[in-house]
Amino acid sequence: MYTVITILIIIVCVLLALVVMVQNAKGGGLASGFASSGQIMGVQKTTDFIEKLTWGLALSLVILCLAASFALPNKEQRNIGSSMQEQIDNAGTAPAQKAPAKAPAQQPAQPQPVTPQGK
């Protein structure tokens, strides 16, 4: 579900960027290309449509972001982490153990005197 919402957010962001680029701050923009007043959608209606589309996309972006925050998987559902991270986590929580005491060094074996055999 989170992945679907994320994809929708990306699509809305791209569309919002395109719609904003179509607009002109001085009222020209896309509407300035329509010179004749006898068209189905006149200049004023085109700017109204672009403005309403901008507000609608911005509102849908806010709603999708809120939905994504609620759909975000919690820590138990995520499988992010490697065995290395698990080892780090386990090492941090394990109680400190005492190092074993060193055993006294053993004496090297003394060479035995060689006794002649047969005598």
CA distance 113 to 57: 99
Q: What is the mean pLDDT of residues 36-62?
A: 76
| Tokens of residue 77, six digits | 């559902």
| pLDDT > 70 in the chain, percent | 55
Instruction: Provide the whole-model pTM.
Output: 0.50
Among the listed residues 52, 49, 65, 72, the one whose alpha carbon sits nearest the alpha carbon of residue 13: 65
Higher pLDDT pick, 109 / 71: 71
DSSP secondary structure code for residue 113 in this structure: P
Higher pLDDT pick, 27 / 14: 14
pLDDT at 114: 73
- Using CB atoms within 10 Å of the CB of residue 12, give its burial: 0 to 12 exposed, 13 to 18 middle, 19+ buried: buried
Please, how many CA atoms are within 13 Å of residue 117, restricted to the half-sphere of its CB?
0
| Tokens of residue 87, six digits | 């080892």
Neighbouring residues of 118: CB distance < 8 A, sequence distance ≥ 6: none
Q: Are 73 and 2 in contact (CB under 8 A)?
A: yes
